[in-house]
Chains A and B, each alone.
Chain A
Amino acid sequence: MKIKNLTYLVILAFLFSCKPELDEVTLSSGNVDFSKYVAIGNSLTAGFTDGELFYTGQQNSYPSILAQQMKPAGGGDFKQPMMMDEYGFGRRLVLDATIQMPVLAGLELNPQNFASIAGQGPFNNLGVPGAKSFHLVHGAESFSLANPYYKRFAAQPGTSTILAEAIAQNPTFFTCWIGSNDVLGYALAGGAADSITSNEVFQMSLGILLQEITANGAKGAIANITDLEPLPYFSFMNTQLPYNGLPITLPEQAAALNAGYAQLNAIIKSFGSNDTLAFALGQNPFVIADKDLPWGIRQMKSGELFLLTLPIDSIMNHGYGSMVPIPDKYVLTTSELANINNAIAGYNQIIAAYAAQFDLAYVDMNTLLNQVATEGITIDGVNFTSTFVTGNTFSLDGIHLTGKASAIAANEFIKAINLKYGSDLLEVSPLFYTGITYR
């Protein structure tokens, strides 16, 4: 009788439990434990995009996506230091579709975004916008006070370091993507300010980080640094205004400029250089400042880059690039580019070596991004190129990734982790992550 009742109950329960259950998804984690995942890095890791750190951008960060995909393979909770709204510290950009230009979203700041949320920690995502390699480790305690993005979630601003906060959580798995800011500061200033972190400092900082975080057996994945030239911040302006985009249509204009620079040219010649300035009908290279020259001025060369901040209005109306040299901060010269590229190559060698030394999964983001920049890639019908705004890859600040690109960055990590550790993590589709947001 009892079994019969039980059967009826089971049948009734089946009939009247309305929700149909799908089969459970369980995936292999290979020989890695995903239960406590900590992410270390800079703005890319934090989910900074469209010029600011804000709620939806953080939800689309690649560590957040990774943590989701780790869930069916034993992954645990993943806490991020969320901003309260879509505007963060107030520099969020949106696309004004009428003028086809990024503009500030311009809403009132929420003071809550500046208040400390340390009490909600500890946070699994320790990405901090602006962090350079040496900011992560011991000796950089002041960084947790000086950097407002870190200050709002640091356990003890002024005392905390990212490495210490990572180790305090006893991570079983970590990702590390650091080094961009070590060159970016210099690049964003057009080479006129900031400085590139030396290979020695980079190597030492990264070495300490990896040594200590793996000390208790944590496994991890490390990504290399991408070249800066494909980024719209450095490549877009040249598509609008090439290095020789100064048009001279009247002979009098050419004559006037040549006359104006005649005295300078004489000085240049007297130094034994041939790098004089000359103007003719047709397209002419712009005049730029160059601090490496004693006389400080020359014409731009092919391959040199304008930054996104280049004031076009001043070129059109105030003689920038012809009568007035374009200031250094809007230009990356050949030698500045060489400094940047050498630094990136150096960091990437160090990263690859450490990946081998510490037995980590190695993520070659640089190759992926160069592929996007040269041929473009298509995933699930989404075309990724390095074109500004419409390329699906870079956000409105010209540097950071869109939600969709963040998804393919996460997929690169997933591929590397699966390859290294034999796990079965599934990749995500960029279709379901954000692209451009409009005003």
Chain B
Amino acid sequence: MRKIVLFHIIMLLSVSSLIAGGYQVRLQGQRQTGIGLIGTSLFGDASSLFYNPAGLSRINGKYSFSAGMSAIMNSVGFRLNNTYNTVYNDNPVGTPLYFYGSAMVTNDLGFGIGVYTPYGTTAVWGDDWIGAQLIQDLSLQAVFIQPTLSCKFGDLLSIGAGFVIVTGGVELSKAIPYNSPEVMGQTNLQGSTSAYGYNLGLLLTPGKKWSIGANYRSEVTMSLEEGDAVFTVPASIPEQLIPRENTFNAELPLPANLDFGISYQATDKLLLAAEVNYVFWDVYDSLKFEFSKNPAMLNSSNPRKYSNTLIPRIGAEYKFSDIVTGRIGFYYDPTPTNDQYFTPETPSLTTYAFTLGLSVYPIENFAIELSYLHLETQQETKSYVPDNFTGDYKSRTLIPGVGLRYNF
């Protein structure tokens, strides 16, 4: 009997085929999305909860609420080595969302709480596609809850800290090479878990024009324990060889992020901003599966060998009038993946992105916000060497977003 040597799991927060940068998404605010996903040096409303907790003590007014969502429309084309036709994934639209509320408790102390879903998406390649033994579909939900405290010291410095509680769930299907004329062998894995982390920030505002921010979001380890595994195989396959029901453990690290940003109010109307995000991806070396039944045959360790990445961003915000503010941004997001261990469940390629944003204020301090993020990649050849799976990939993602922001 053939040994099942490869099991790939979705990264818990792997919004496969999503916005490059491995499996991390940064759509936690419409203003920030519109300005190149820059946020570390910005402040004024509750969305700082995610981008730089130090900003929560510098909101405009006493209370701030911010909520929004984006629609992720992604298409990845794949062409297997030595073939001539391109196949495309068939993802439904992903909809990450956020809700933040914060208040100035005293003049110097801000407190906020936020709920955001950076990874609510489903990646679908299909049951019959050429890479079915690597992945057929995967679905991911994770909710982050972050109570946050921030303190300012005069006009110059503020700091902030948030505690992050993550609850997440994942489901994935892939084909296994045990078929009957009627039944395609398949494994379906399902699990959920909670995890914890923290979010630290620092903000410097020397003078009215400059703002310098630093933000550190900790690594979060998602440990799936006693997840459910269901194996569909032909009836004559002995139960001892492939148990039909099994449980599994797997662990997925979500990397830490260290961000530095700077913004400059060039004129009354024009704000310029730049930022770098350093993502500690090398913590993701391999994905291991351990099964409770028949571990000798089913367990696997699947190399990923990600590398740290540095993402540079620039953006600008222009106040056209009291009622309308526009934004534009660009960034370059190199892939953390390894050319030799690249899997179609997370086909994240080096990405070139631009953004547009718009805020409309029907009344003062209340904004309806729109953003648009566009991601392009080049066509690249990647392999997953353990499976001899090599081919060309290319990705495009369109992400409109809408949100509301209210300070009072």
Which of B235, B388, B396 is close to A431, meaning CB atoms less than 8 Å apart?
B388
The B-contacting residues of A in range 10-50, CB under 8 angstroms, are 15-16, 18-23, 25
Within 8 Å CB of A107, what residues of B? 181
What's the A-B contact tally at a CB cutoff of 8 Å? Answer: 93
Which residues of chain B have C-beta atoms less than 8 A from A20's C-beta? Answer: 75-77, 376-377, 379, 394-396
Q: Check B180–A429 contact: CB distance below 8 A.
A: no
Q: Which of B75, B235, B374 is within 8 Å of A19, CB to CB?
A: B75
From residue 127 to 177 of chain A, which have CB atoms closer than 8 A to chain B?
none
Does B178 sit within 8 A of A, measured CB to CB?
Answer: yes
Instruction: Name the CB-closest residue of B to A24.
Output: B84
Is B237 at the interface (CB under 8 A from chain A)? yes
- Name the A residues within 8 Å of B210 (CB-CB): none
1/0 per residue, CB under 8 A from B, across A406-439: the answer is 0000000000000000000011110110110111
SS class of chain A's interface: helix, strand, loop or mixed?
A: loop
CB of B86 within 8 A of chain A?
Answer: yes
Query: Are B84 and A16 interface neighbours, CB within 8 A?
Result: no
Q: Does B82 contact A (CB under 8 A)?
A: yes
Contact A438 B237 (CB under 8 A): yes
Of the four ranges (under 10, 10 to 19, 20 to 34, 35 or more), the interface on chain A belongs to 35 or more
Q: Which of B233, B234, B377 has the most CB of A within 10 A?
A: B234
In contact, B181 and A87 (Cβ under 8 angstroms): yes
> Cβ of B236 and Cβ of A439 under 8 Å apart?
yes
Per the 8 Å Cβ criterion, residues 233-252 of B in contact with A are 233-238, 241
Given A98-B236, A439-B234, A23 and B82 contact (CB-CB distance below 8 Å):
no
Point out the residues of chain B lying under 8 angstroms from A99, CB to CB.
Answer: 236
Within the assembled complex, what's the spacing in Å between the Cα atoms of A437 and B178?
7
Does B324 have its Cβ within 8 Å of any Cβ on chain A? no
Q: A381 near B: Cβ within 8 Å?
A: yes
Residue of B nearest to A17 (CB): B396
Partner of B75, one of A18, A69, A426, A438: A18
Cα distance A207–B54 when bound, in Å? 88
Interface string of B45-80 (1 = CB under 8 A from A): 000000000000000000000000000010111011
Alpha-carbon gap, A18 to B91, bound state (A): 12
Shortest C-beta distance, A43 to chain B (Å), equals 19
Q: By the criterion CB–CB under 8 Å, are A105 and B181 in contact? A: yes
B1 at the interface (CB under 8 A from A): yes
Per a CB cutoff under 8 Å, which of A18, A72, A427 touches B84?
A72
Min Cβ gap A44→B in Å is 21
Chain A residues proximal to chain B, CB less than 8 Å: 15-16, 18-23, 25, 56, 68-69, 71-72, 86-87, 92, 94-99, 105, 107, 380-381, 426-429, 431-432, 434-435, 437-439
B positions within 8 Å CB-CB of A: 1, 73, 75-77, 79-84, 86, 88, 130, 177-182, 233-238, 241, 374, 376-377, 379, 387-389, 392, 394-396, 398
Closest A-B pairs by Cβ, 9 of them:
A86-B181, A438-B234, A426-B82, A72-B84, A20-B396, A20-B394, A25-B84, A380-B388, A439-B236
Knowing that A97-B236, A105-B181, A438-B237 touch, tell me 7 more A-B residue pairs with CB under 8 angstroms.
Answer: A18-B398, A20-B379, A21-B77, A22-B79, A86-B182, A94-B234, A438-B236
